[in-house]
Structure 1
């Protein structure tokens, strides 16, 4: 049975003589890079490509083609080879599209010597990339596996080979493209009909393309028998290049529709995947669902990722994007219906003789009926998509790990202190007016790249909060819940929380932290306490930055706590003088890069006396609210999403129980 892989998933290989089949919609060049035990490609002689298609154990095509068959004999590989990376690239001289986002998603399959398909992978989510690392065959404890990679490179072959740690990557990339250009006149075009697996549309209003089915296309070359040869790879091993990732914060509290940061090596992040469809794709008769053609049953973790946590994180973001786009399609349809209604009524009543009497009434009723029909159609599509997303949410929410789960999730009742830091953290929930019952978890990557500001000001007041003191207390509870979650999801001793509460106004909200004894020090009060804790954290930031820049991390003083630090500041700017304000701004700007993070509980109006001096500070922080508020935007269509904080249910003791477990684990490690 074929294993249909998603990005990051691996599958064991039962045979050593393999054929790798690649189908693309346009001519592409294909190559294979051999890596040592560190994953490093030691030199050009470790790369099979159209200019040098045959290496011991690997043979690729000599030319660009829409269909490829690569021959691999794992037993014939030199002993120093522990990895075989299969890559694709678009020839620069082609007259067709110059990016993978403009062509059908390439399809890859690994077959055994009998032609039986062992594993397959469809490369979805590509955009501006011109080269992509498709598959990786790797040896682990004497056994070989295949992993679906899907790592794209907007910088083309040069960037791909450079990321493999290859010396002179630019020279080899130019040589490969030159060899390919010479063979383009003989390139095999895409067949008129072939199996092209469909990828999920990014826009829920877009139609899903139908897959076509045909027979095979002959290979552009005849694979020769791959024999064991002398090992030509005697160059020194280089240090493998580290993958570049820059996952920015996708929520922008100030500018609507701000795009998220892209991965430096892979173009914009795309969380769509083959099983996520806004409309069910056409299926073969044997696979068509009986009855009304409903979607397949949702599965938790059905997204790309290297681990289950990453899959769930990406799946939540896929749900978030799907809800944004299907709502945008509905709103657009309603706007179109309203505009059409006004235009039709104006045209029908342009003649004064038709403004009165039955003809005018009939024209208005007909136009209104057409408007209602259009809106009903759009609402039916939205309801269908909401039903699918709701069903997916009902499966995904119970499967979320503690870092992603709400405080009412059963996962907390079996809580144990983790041994690894999480990928992301839940800050609350998001929803839109058209889909109030459906809540999407608001997840942000860790470590936090921006500080957080819990707004306790009157701008966040609604009818249920008449007392500003009550709102300030609730804002502090939000900060405490975030601190408790951060402590709970990090290994013992790797995260510390410190508090500045100048007037002691947050003592009641801080009881879960102070009662469990999980604060690094008692809350700092008064001007002297504010100065002391800011000086200590500023010194830590300065020393760690200097140590990292000088490569002397081991030389840090013994009193420098290398655990990540969270500083909660309550009632800012009370207790702060100008010097303390300057230090706080410094921590907000420089702290996140060395593990010092900030959560401020403040009313911006209280700091109005500082004028524009603090504007950069407020802009650098992500604004959260203790009550529902529609101030956050998605990066796709710019909807205003209603944010709700992740608070502990009333009467629940789950936070106290979790923090007691954290405190017990701390005692063991001290």
Structure 2
């Protein structure tokens, strides 16, 4: 059975000799590049194209046509080739299409030599692009896989070759065009499928898995597999982000799946809000996907992974932060417009009442009513624009959340039920959720890149509740969702310390689970021995070899061991002498959890901790402090640089994080497992088992 891929997905190859069959709505030039592990090309000899159709293990057609067959023998490739990228480009002056968006989407099928389908990818989402990297075959740990790429280039073949690291990209693109124009390649249109004839009834294997341009397969529309649900961006901007999904042909016409144009700046405070921008008009002949109730000129459907990136993980990461920026700017525009309406109301009331003759009687009442009506109209207009943006963001969030990988997923995500230790390190980590008071039910994942360049500080004292005093229904709902035993008032000191350590353990468990077995370890300093209940999942699963040693001895032992590790690794990196590291040195990345800081720390220990915070991240030692900011102030300015160098998070929802665009105070919610759930223990058990097996 042929696997239907969406952008970013991969599928294993069970044979070395395959064919890559291309079907397009107009003539295209097909080529192949042979790249190293980073995808870079050694030179023009690493490109197979109509002017030079044969390379070791590769043969491409000499013609520009709507149908192609590319022969690939993976065993015959040079040993330094790790990526085989299939390129499609629209030739100049051949056929009627100048961009991929004006024709049926090209489809690429990887088959066996007997025509048996292995994987198929329909390259939807192309608009103004005239060249595209459709798929790539890549080698990972001795095995070959096929990945759906779909990276388009509006500047055509030269830009695509240049992006793959070819210095003479323009010259080679000119050679290919010259070969086609001089008749070395010829244009052949795809044969039409007879009416009423089955797509799979064609003669020979060429027609077996080939979709008709007039009747694309179901994958042309919004994919239904998890991680490929339909998605769109949230609001307007000057231009769509690179890699955004664009028109997909359904029923003979393209449909625009790109993010609506995003506004680049919020409305100024001294200007009235403008009317909502109309949705981009669909090209002629466009129609909504089957099963969709959206009008042809309405907002496009959301797609998970609808952003730039070479992998699905990177696309989802970029999409999440695009949603974060969209929400920040949408709310900023609404707040600016509301503030303008308020100031205008005050000005008009002052102007109407400045004349003593208008302060009483019907004239004064009419002036007040007119001013209030204008104010209400402006606020309603601003709210309508915000609601439009929020509806798009909510729809996008609904398809993005189910598609997130474990590193980005909440603890109640089904992905944790079948979680297995990964083979590669993740690119980012979810620390919690962020939201604004204008919309209570929309949470944006808070993602940070890995490895952590900054340590973390989890407030376990009254400062954890700073900025959250007074009634806040949103905060109270979030706290109840966390399953904490807090009352409607501020939590007591013991409750905060317990929640802070549970938050630290949940983060440690997540980091252990998303790294390959043996690549990450956790160290704990607990001088008072009070963190034992929270540390139980780590200790009982074996993820933490033993409970931390209490008292000053435990502090000294851990800090000296990690300081030695940092010193030795730094010297090895500086002198390029990694082989000279002692055999007993654990080179896995380390997360140091310091509980109840600064209890049990003397001046020497404080100096070592500062050293680890400053120098550790560069060599794989990361700091997670669980501390009361008020108690640390007793040490005066000594600890201020440490506190300010760490990223502060809280064990309870708190509005203390500001975005870099408009400075909103975002409410942060910690990432804890649902009340009564054993998911953290189960995941840690799998981590410990994988570590023992490795």
Shorter-chain TM range is 0.5 to 0.7
Using the alignment, how far apart are the partners of 1:500 and 1:649 within structure 2?
26
1:533 positional shift: 0.7
TM-score by length of 1: 0.67
The answer to whether structure 1 residue 391 and structure 2 residue 395 are counterparts is yes
1:426 corresponds in structure 2 to 430
1:625 corresponds in structure 2 to 650
Pick aligned residue for 1:381 from 381, 385, 395: 385
1:510 corresponds in structure 2 to 535
TM-score by length of 2: 0.65
Using the alignment, how far apart are the partners of 1:17 and 1:431 within structure 2?
44
2:183 corresponds in structure 1 to 225
The verdict on how the C-alpha distance between 1:34 and 1:226 changes in structure 2, with shifts beyond 3 A counting, is farther
Contact 2:243 2:306 in 1 (8 A): no
1:343 positional shift: 2.5
1:460 corresponds in structure 2 to 464
Contact 2:7 2:148 in 1 (8 A): no
1:576 corresponds in structure 2 to 601
The answer to whether structure 1 residue 287 and structure 2 residue 294 are counterparts is no
The answer to whether structure 1 residue 491 and structure 2 residue 516 are counterparts is yes
The answer to whether structure 1 residue 551 and structure 2 residue 576 are counterparts is yes
The verdict on how the C-alpha distance between 1:143 and 1:509 changes in structure 2, with shifts beyond 3 A counting, is closer
The verdict on how the C-alpha distance between 1:46 and 1:648 changes in structure 2, with shifts beyond 3 A counting, is closer
1:537 positional shift: 0.7
Q: How does 1:124-523 map to 2 (within 5 A)?
A: 135=133, 147-149=149-151, 223-226=181-184, 274=246, 275=257, 276-277=259-260, 280-283=279-282, 284=284, 286-287=286-287, 294-461=298-465, 462=469, 464-523=489-548
Q: How does 1:95-106 map to 2 (within 5 A)?
A: none
The verdict on how the C-alpha distance between 1:552 and 1:475 changes in structure 2, with shifts beyond 3 A counting, is same
Q: How many residues align?
A: 534
Contact 2:6 2:148 in 1 (8 A): no
The verdict on how the C-alpha distance between 1:147 and 1:418 changes in structure 2, with shifts beyond 3 A counting, is closer
1:461-503 superposed Cα distances (whole Å, 9 cap, x missing partner) = 3563352222112111111111111122222222111100111
Using the alignment, how far apart are the partners of 2:654 and 2:593 within structure 1?
22
1:642 corresponds in structure 2 to 667
1:79 positional shift: 8.8
The verdict on how the C-alpha distance between 1:619 and 1:144 changes in structure 2, with shifts beyond 3 A counting, is closer
Contact 1:13 1:146 in 2 (8 A): no
Contact 2:7 2:150 in 1 (8 A): yes
The verdict on how the C-alpha distance between 1:460 and 1:147 changes in structure 2, with shifts beyond 3 A counting, is closer
Using the alignment, how far apart are the partners of 1:121 and 1:391 within structure 2?
19
The verdict on how the C-alpha distance between 1:568 and 1:4 changes in structure 2, with shifts beyond 3 A counting, is closer
| 2:590 partner SS | strand
Contact 1:300 1:396 in 2 (8 A): yes
1:558-589 superposed Cα distances (whole Å, 9 cap, x missing partner) = 11112111100011111111221111111112
Contact 1:334 1:378 in 2 (8 A): yes
1:33 positional shift: 11
Using the alignment, how far apart are the partners of 1:158 and 1:593 within structure 2?
35
1:150 positional shift: 6.1
Q: How does 1:29-108 map to 2 (within 5 A)?
A: 39-42=39-42, 56=52
Contact 1:430 1:643 in 2 (8 A): yes
The verdict on how the C-alpha distance between 1:376 and 1:527 changes in structure 2, with shifts beyond 3 A counting, is same
- Unmatched tracts of structure 1, length 5 or more: 23-31, 59-68, 89-104, 127-131, 181-218, 228-267
1:67-114 superposed Cα distances (whole Å, 9 cap, x missing partner) = xx9xx99789x99896687999xxxxxxxxxxxxxxxx99798979xx
> 1 or 2 for the larger relative contact order (CA 8 Å, sep ≥6)?
1
Contact 1:271 1:317 in 2 (8 A): no
1:160 positional shift: 9.3
2:195 corresponds in structure 1 to none
1:381-410 superposed Cα distances (whole Å, 9 cap, x missing partner) = 222332332233233323333222222223
1:306 positional shift: 3.0
The verdict on how the C-alpha distance between 1:106 and 1:628 changes in structure 2, with shifts beyond 3 A counting, is farther
Using the alignment, how far apart are the partners of 1:291 and 1:121 within structure 2?
18
Deviates more, 1:583-592 or 1:518-527: 518-527
| 1:437 partner SS | strand
Using the alignment, how far apart are the partners of 1:442 and 1:417 within structure 2?
23
Using the alignment, how far apart are the partners of 2:36 and 2:315 within structure 1?
27
Contact 2:457 2:646 in 1 (8 A): yes
Contact 2:434 2:666 in 1 (8 A): yes
